[in-house]
Structures are given as structure tokens and as C-alpha cells.
Chains A and B, each alone.
Chain A
Amino acid sequence: MNGWGIIRGLGVTLRHFFGTYAEDLRRGKSRYFTKQGVRERSASTVRGIFTVQYPEEKLIIPEEFRYLPFLVYDELESGEKKIRCTSCGICAKVCPPQCIWIERTTDPVTGRPVPAPVAFYIDIDICMNCGFCAEYCPFDAIKMDHDFEIASYDRKAEHIYALEKLLKPAVYYQSIRPENFAREEASRMEKEAKTSSKS
């Protein structure tokens, strides 16, 4: 029959429409503005349609979500920041759009290179969020961040991140990517145990 498809399609739309309100009436306001509510509403089993009320509530970000890279530092017991980066430059070499700039520290006395960055710049208006730097880093020093609220009015002044702006503690990394962090810590422990047993 002609037009049957249109009627069926309209029926689906109507079912979604009523589904949204039926669930809202049954559950009240508990589905809104809470993390649990957003999780429930974005599940595949949900009936009806819903809008993320963005500034008040945000979508649950999966662990592997990536936005911009950041540098991880470990906080030592003395309170000192130990930057994991050794300025080997692998991330800058693999970066497809070439947005990373690293300068290595040189020892002022001997003039020899020290494995630590003296300057580290990422132009976040060129970074294409591919995650190759985090993938290739042999020291787990550069990781992809979850923060996406970074729009600003001035590109040159605010969108070229220097070392201070890129550094974030390992605790923060653990909080955004718990599974990755646990896996990396386990493999590092294993490696350390191996080297200590050899020597």
C-alpha cells in the first residue's frame, strides 16, 4: 500500500515522543542533573529521546576518550615534582601535524644534555587529537586528557601551551584513566622486579 512506510515512520517518532514523557512522569526529576540519571538516559535500553542539558550535566566520558595531550609528573615524597618526560623527542617525531616543540636541558657545568625538557610547547590549535604521542611514549610521560572546555578568545596568547600548563600529576591521570593506569603500573613493577633479580 502506498504511504504505509510514512505512517509507520511517524508511528516510531510518536512512540519515542510519548516514551520520553511516560518515563519522566513515572520517575520524576530523579533522571535529570545527576550522574546516575545521565547514565540511565544514555543507555541503549532507554525509551524515548533525551537532551543532554549541557552546562549542568555532561555526558559520561568513556575512559578512552581523548582530547589534548598532557605531561604526567610524579609527586615525590619530598614534595618535588618529577617530570616523567626525558625529552627524547619521539612524540615530536611521530606527531602527524607536527605540533610539539621540545628543548632538552643541558648541564650548565659540563654542557652535556640532561634527560629532562627545559621547554615543551604544544600548539593546541594544530593538535589533531590522534593520540600517537601517548601511544609511542616509552616512559608513559605524555597522555591524552579528557578536558574539552578549552575555547578561548585569543589563539596566540592562550592556545600555545607551555610546560607549566601541560604538567598534571599522576594522581589526575589515575582519576581519569584508572584501568590504563593500573595496567601500566603493573607492567612497570614487573620490569623493576626483573631488573633487580638480574643484578
Chain B
Amino acid sequence: MDEELNNPKYEIPPEIQHQVAITTVDKIYNWSRRNSLWPMMFGLACCAVEMIGAAASRYDFSRFGMEVMRASPRQADVMIVSGTVTKKMIPTIVRLYNQMGEPKYVVAMGVCASSGGPFKEGYSVVPGVDRFIPVDVYIPGCPPTPQALLYGLMALQEKIDQQSIQTVRWYKKGDSSPIPIPVLGPDLMDPRDFDLIKRRAQENLQMEEQVSPTNIEEADSHVG
């Protein structure tokens, strides 16, 4: 076992120093969690090709314990959002995220997943996947090279190292309700914003009533 892991800040009597290992729950939890991060096998755009490259023998991220890519969200720990997130795709991504077993992590790979990138004002692209699901690590690059992706995944492992079982959100009391799945209609709508959307629509209706056609005619006649 690692020296780092067996460092409990408790004094071990010298006669049993090499026979027992004492560690904290947090450390063993983080150690096992960080060394078996299985990514989910799904790619969205060109970044996916770099992700596949990072998984192949040249860069081989199973060296870090990301042993295999799982095709099922139930067996995956980390979701690598690799590529442009379109409005048509985000309901599926949110659904996949909800289906992943906790603890779950999200890596936004590439600028499109982080912020929309070159398509940030596009009519069909979500400007950043972090508007819907919580993102742990952002990796810039268009696309990030496999080495940059590996650096990002190592950053995720470091983040996991700093977590504590008492403060992580999946062991907290209270509801852990799934993220509501966005609705793709004429435009993308977040169910969390429905109240706001209704209120805005109401306000718009009232505004229209105030500036109704009869009022406009009256205004015109005054000007004329």
C-alpha cells in the first residue's frame, strides 16, 4: 500500500509498525474511487476521436485505472462530454447523467462542451454543458490532445483526493432528485425555468394588451 495512503496521523507503536496499516475512511474511499474511474463510452463530435486515441495503446488511460469504457451508464463513474452539445442531444445527455450511479463525475472535454466554443451563439448548440449538469473539470483545447485529456483526468483524480465522505453531495441528507430533463420544442427549455418562462409570457401578454391595435390607431391619429 502507498506510503501516502498509510499516513493516519495516529502514532503506531514501533513494535507493530510494519504489521498494521491504519488509514482514514476518507483516504481509503478516495484512493479506491480515484483508481477505478471508469468512463462512459459515448462521443459527441471530433473530440471523441481524441478520447478514443487516449484510450488506445499509444496513450492508454487504463494506466490510471480508467480500465475500460463502459457502454452502460449504470457501470460508469465519469462522463467525458467529448464534443459539441447540441440542443437535440442535451436531453439524452441529462438522462444518461441521471442514470449514472453515484458518485459520478463529469469532465467537459474541449471548448464546445465547456462553453459552446466557436458555436457559442449558434441556434442549435448549448453554450456549455454546465448549464444543465455539474462539471468537475474543464479541459480547453479544440480538440484537446490525448495528453491534455490525460492531464485533465489526472486533475479530476486530484480533485477526488481532496474530497471528504462527510461533505460530498451524494451522501448528504435531503433529496437527491434527478436533474429535470430539458424539453426540446421550438427551442430548448429547462423545466427548472418553467415558472420564469410562464411569468415572462404573462408579462408579454399584458404588454401586448396595453399596446393593442386600437391604441396604436389612436396614437397615430394624435400624431397625424
Contacts and interface: CB of A to CB of B under 8 A. Distances in A.
Interface of A: 49-55, 58-59, 67-68, 96-97, 123-130, 148-155, 159
A62 to B, nearest CB: 12
B83 interface: no
Interface string B103-133: 0000000010011111010000000101000
A51 B57 contact: yes
Interface of B: 57-60, 63, 111, 114-118, 120, 128, 130, 135-142, 144-145, 147-148, 150-152, 154-155, 159
Contacts of B130: 155
Given A54-B59, A153-B137, A126 B151 contact: no
Contacts of A123: 115
Contacts of B58: 49-52
Given A51-B57, A51-B63, A97-B120, A153 B138 contact: yes
14 contacts: A49-B58, A54-B147, A55-B150, A97-B117, A97-B118, A125-B140, A129-B141, A148-B148, A149-B148, A150-B139, A150-B148, A151-B138, A152-B138, A153-B137
A96 B118 contact: yes
A159 B63 contact: no
A96 B118 CA distance: 7
A51 B136 CA distance: 27
B111 A126 contact: yes
B115 A126 contact: yes
Contacts of B159: 153
